[in-house]
Amino acid sequence: AQSVTQPDIHITVSEGASLELRCNYSYGATPYLFWYVQSPGQGLQLLLKYFSGDTLVQGIKGFEAEFKRSQSSFNLRKPSVHWSDAAEYFCAVGGNKLVFGAGTILRVKS
């Protein structure tokens, strides 16, 4: 069965510091992987996606993610966090249907 694990429920980083949000997945075939961001009371915005090819993918807002098949991971990174990045981040896997992780709430301290 498909599943996504985001082991960190909350993460707090200082503004300007680097960020890595972890995502591990279980999927029976070649996965399609996504990262979404959700601000309070809002829908989800697609940050980036991986389907095939280069395992390092670039997204919007300065985010990137690296697909590591051997580790079944698709971690999200950003070299320098801004206060406006505070939100909840969801990793998702799937094709016709998406399975979402539980989300990681990012807090940014000034």
Partner 1 sequence: GAVVSQHPSWVICKSGTSVKIECRSLDFQATTMFWYRQFPKQSLMLMATSNEGSKATYEQGVEKDKFLINHASLTLSTLTVTSAHPEDSSFYICSAREPTGQYEQYFGPGTRLTVT
Token pair, residue 91, equals 């990793």
Q: How far is the CB of 28 from partner 1 (least distance, A)?
A: 15
Nearer to partner 1, 3 or 14 (CB): 3
Token pair, residue 37, equals 């961001």
Exposure of 4 by Cβ count < 10 A (0-12 exposed, 13-18 middle, 19+ buried)? Answer: buried
Go through the chain and tell me how many residues it has.
110
Q: How far is the CB of 73 from partner 1 (least distance, A)?
A: 18
Number of CB atoms found within 10 A of residue 92's CB: 23
* DSSP one-letter code for 46: E
Q: Which amino acid is at 24?
A: N
Nearer to partner 1, 14 or 55 (CB): 55
Q: How far is the CB of 16 from partner 1 (least distance, A)?
A: 28
* Residues 51-90, mask of contacts with partner 1 (x by CB under 8 A): x--------------------------------------x
Interface residue list for partner 1 (CB under 8 A): 32, 34, 36, 41-46, 49, 51, 90, 94-98, 100-103
